[in-house]
Amino acid sequence: MSTDGDIASRKADHLRLAASPAAQMQRSNGLEAIQLEPVALPELSLDEIDTSCHFLQKPLRQPLLIASMSGGVAAAERLNSMLASAAEAAGVALGLGSMRIALDSPQAAATFNLRRQAPSIPLLANLGATQLLEHGGVARALRCVDIAAADALIIHLNPLQEAIQPGGNTDWRGVAAALAQLVNASAVPVIVKEVGHGIGPATARRLLELGIVWVDVAGAGGTSWAGIEQQRSEGSRPTPFHDFGISLTQSLQAIEADPVLSGRLRLIASGGIRSGLDVAKCLRLGATLASAAQPFLLAAQTGEQALHDLLATWQRELAITCLCTGSASLAGLRTAALLR
């Protein structure tokens, strides 16, 4: 069993390695193949484009979630505080890193209490799926919501990462039943996400059967957690799983095309999102909002102003995409013409 010290050390490693170019997949997320048809006579004013939406019954100024990164260690506390302040100022949602360490350490738990910095935006608690199998796992997951005063609970699926991680959790028997129990017990929405290797239609159908409505597909094309764990394993050879998975675009398209799934899931798109144009393409492919981590991690390393600037840039890029597709709002963007 991992100790608090082991977990803290691993989290520090994760933050350091996630910022490295070597942690990024070599394969594309597929969005470059999605071509929105330009409208050269939009009859719109850029200043009047509405990029706002609602998420978890709270207003956002753009359909964006700063994705879960880390918590429970000093570096993560500083990062999360900066992210929370920037997200509040920009009107976007914020996901917290895995809160496993917070369940056993009051000092670590305090690093996830960000409501003072972010009183009005959606905050999402987060726990790994295999932690649901521990004694009192469902109740412990619900405690994460209380610790963070969260609007929803992310349960992340990471079997590949755990299989490569030294001492990782490799017994996934019973996770589906525990998820169903959690959904029935939770007063807030449960969002299930992968960590960057993707959710295909078969898994999405199983999640729907368990009562899951919100799914973050977290497709391949961004950060490789298999690659990060390989880098943490001294002396190990390069993993053949660095680029493993279903890409973000493939995942969104496959779920949208599945007659059982289409229109029944609310999708969050992540996996190599790097601009407001990427956000726009994901919305056109059926996502409710988009999510990213690495660009905001890199910006935060420069300083809080860089975070504010990046969030403003993405919102302007989204608005420009709306203008150039003849879309006055996100509703119009979702039906914008695509070039085949």
**How many other CB atoms are found less than 10 A from the CB of residue 159?**
17
Kindly indicate the confidence band of residue 7, based on its pLDDT and cuts at 50, 70 and 90. low
pLDDT of 204 higher than 60:
yes
Of 230 and 126, the structure prediction assigns the larger pLDDT to: 126
- Domains, the chain, ranges and CATH? 4-10+49-339 (3.20.20.70)
pTM (2 d.p.): 0.93
8 A C-beta contact, residue 271 and residue 29: yes
Q: Which of 128, 130, 253, 263 is nearest to 201 (CA)?
A: 253
pLDDT of 235 higher than 80:
no
8 A C-beta contact, residue 211 and residue 170: no
Kindly indicate the confidence band of residue 225, based on its pLDDT and cuts at 50, 70 and 90. confident
Measured CA to CA, the distance from residue 23 to residue 225 in angstroms comes to 7
pLDDT in tens, 97-152: 999 999 988 888 888 999 999 999 999 999 999 999 999 999 999 999 999 999 99
Measured CA to CA, the distance from residue 64 to residue 316 in angstroms comes to 13
8 A C-beta contact, residue 172 and residue 130: yes
pLDDT in tens, 163-194: 999 889 999 999 999 999 999 999 999 999 99
